[in-house]
Amino acid sequence: MDNSLEIKLDFKTVKADLLRGIYECSQRGLNHSVKWLSEINYALKHVNLSPEEKPKSQDDTEEEIEAFLLAKSYFDLKEYDRCAHFIKECTKAKPRFLYFYSRYLSIEKKKLDNMTDTNCPPDPTKNEALVQLCTELKIDYYDNKLDGYCLYLYGVILKKLDLIQTAIEVFIKAVSAEPILWSTWFELGKIIPDKGTIFSVQLPDHWMKYFFIAHTYLEQLCNEESLQMYNTFYSMGLQNSTYILAQIALGHHNRRNLNEAIEMFRKILELDPFRLDNLDTYSNLLYVQEMKKDLADLAHKVVNIDKYRVETCCVIGNYYSLRSDHAKAVLYFRRALKLNPQFLSAWTLMGHEFMEMKNSNAAIQSYRHAIEINARDYRAWYGLGQTYEILKMPNYCLHYYKEAQQLKPNDSRMVIALGETYEKLEKSENALKCYYKACNLGDVEGTALLKLAKLYDKLNETENAAAAFTEYCLREEDREVRCVEEQAEFYNALHYLSNYHLKKGELDDAYTYAYKCMECEETKEQGKALLKTIAARRAEQESVPIRLSEAGTSNMDMVFSPNVL
């Protein structure tokens, strides 16, 4: 597959495939795939198919229809063991899948029911029932008895047992056998190791491939490429797909285009006011922007929709966190994990709360669980780095910040954190490289230049320090609002530059910076002292000494003017 993708979608073909997929997945109880396919189908309601173009349902259950219908009724009521019992002798594809799938869901349900402490979820690789089910599927796999749906299930179980490479191979076979099953593409996108692998594997030439590549780009944090593809889908006629809009919002969130992401989520809620998917991310955005009223409104809204959804618990957790009620926030993140121990966002957010509560051990456990679920969660790696930084363990800290930075190479925050750790380890050259790189990446938090300048000063590289301080001051002058700490740093930088130019005999520049120091209470006295020194130095440079009473209206009068002092 070529890296340069030209997206081609024949909406009539797409619609026919969607209708067939909705029927087939619905028959097998694959509700998440049914939901995804139905949402895309709804966005294509303007596309009409003739009776000839509509898919014809092919049912293989005729000989086993009674057993299948009975088992499916139990499946829909979540009586999974009962479902499996009545179709264990069936051989046709659909009941056979339902047999394996109901057994898998039974194992998962029992695991959840038996969990007493969300901080210690059981190791799936030690689950004998899951290993036994995997063995049965493996036998059918090598006998080529598994269709696309059973291959998907086999891949899911392999992934659970941490057999990732085999799972990738099985998922690739599954999408070739049944390309309309979105769940397979979704799972494959989560475990593809890197961006290059997307184009090295043999994927079917099917329109679903484009949705998979866009989804995988987003998983790999290739946000530019992902947004480009989703915006293409949007402009081609899928502008009312809440899935597409949500993916665009996530792309903006990852790129820290926070306002664009918030606007996109608002648009989604206008189209589908009862949609809860991804609202945990929306609440994160409102939290970061400190939009207390909006977050309170969102929390109230989601509770009224479904208070036992994981997204609802995360929204409420963020609401309490913004109110600095961290204990209550943890309570709701725990509740989310009771509902779904694999919900990545809840583990990471709970780690942040434990950090706020200064409970380092619990924070480390939470972040580690997040990484076990998704090793590409840069926030968890970064959180671990911060935790070990607090524990004053810079070598551990360095490892976790490196992992975070590799996952988000263009995020200046990760690079600065790495630089600070190198500095603590007295690896100054590495620290300088990090700060310099952060400056080139845009320096989101506006601290890289300052750290670069201070490190140069510490290394007695005065010329480089002065250049960095000058650049920092030029940039800061354009800012109207600064917090107290930022203001102190700005005026200390001006004081440094005034001293630097004074030592070099560049009195005009020294005067300019010293005069600006007078604007701040903390540096006012230092500014006064510098202005006096500059005045004395100027007087020395005159061929005839100047007495203050004879100085007229020169710059000297300005220096010693009572209005200035």
Tell me which of 477 and 150 has the higher pLDDT.
150
pLDDT band (50, 70, 90) for residue 123: low
Residue 333 structure tokens: 């993140």
Q: pLDDT exceeding 90 applies to what percent of the chain?
A: 70
293: in domain: no
Which bin fits 298, alpha (ψ -120 to 50), beta or left (φ > 0)? Answer: alpha
Instruction: Domain of residue 496: give its range.
Output: 482-565
Tell me how far apart the alpha carbons of residues 277 and 131 are, in angstroms, rounded to a whole number.
32
How far from each other are the two terminal CA atoms of the chain, in whole angstroms?
72
136 to each of 133, 141, 178, 317, how far by Cα in Å? 5, 9, 21, 42
13: in domain: no
Query: What would the DSSP string read from start to end of 450-519?
Result: HHHHHHHHHTT-HHHHHHHHHHHHHHHHT-S---HHHHHHHHHHHHHHHHHHHHTT-HHHHHHHHHHHTT
Residue 226 has pLDDT above 80, yes or no: yes
487: in domain: yes
Summarize pLDDT for 482-531 with one digit per residue, the tens: 677 788 888 999 999 999 999 998 999 999 999 999 988 888 999 999 99
Q: Which residues have a Cβ under 8 Å from the Cβ of 356 and sit 6 or more positions away? A: 321, 324, 326
Q: Which residues have a Cβ under 8 Å from the Cβ of 305 and sit 6 or more positions away? A: 274, 276, 312
Q: pLDDT exceeding 70 applies to what percent of the chain?
A: 91
Q: Which residue has the tokens 């972040």?
A: 367
Summarize pLDDT for 179-201 with one digit per residue, the tens: 999 999 999 998 888 877 887 88
Instruction: Give me the pLDDT at residue 554, please.
Output: 37
432: in domain: no
Residue 560 has pLDDT above 60, yes or no: no
Report the mean per-residue pLDDT for the chain.
89
What letter represents residue 419's amino acid?
Answer: G
Residue 315 has pLDDT above 60, yes or no: yes
**Spatial contact of 222 and 379, defined as CB atoms under 8 Å apart:** no
pLDDT band (50, 70, 90) for residue 562: very low
286 to each of 99, 161, 279, 446, how far by Cα in Å? 44, 37, 10, 22
pLDDT band (50, 70, 90) for residue 268: very high
544: in domain: yes
Instruction: Give me the pLDDT at residue 197, please.
Output: 81
104: in domain: no
Tell me how far apart the alpha carbons of residues 285 and 269 are, in angstroms, rounded to a whole number.
15
Instruction: Give me the pLDDT at residue 444, please.
Output: 73
445: which DSSP letter?
A: T
250: in domain: no
Q: Which residue has the tokens 């709701």?
A: 332
Lowest mean pLDDT among 74-78, 240-244, 549-553: 549-553
* pTM across the whole model: 0.83
Residue 551 has pLDDT above 80, yes or no: no
**Number of domains the chain contains:** 1
Q: Which residues have a Cβ under 8 Å from the Cβ of 331 and sit 6 or more positions away? A: 317
281: in domain: no
Residue 144 has pLDDT above 60, yes or no: yes
Residue 553 has pLDDT above 70, yes or no: no
Instruction: Give me the pLDDT at residue 51, please.
Output: 87
Residue 303 has pLDDT above 90, yes or no: yes
Average pLDDT, stretch 426-441? 92
Instruction: Give me the pLDDT at residue 556, please.
Output: 31
Lowest mean pLDDT among 136-140, 310-314, 348-352, 513-517: 513-517
Residue 95 has pLDDT above 80, yes or no: yes
Taking CA 325 as the corner, what is the angle to CA 319 and CA 330, rounded to the nearest 5 degrees?
80
Tell me which of 124 and 481 has the higher pLDDT.
124
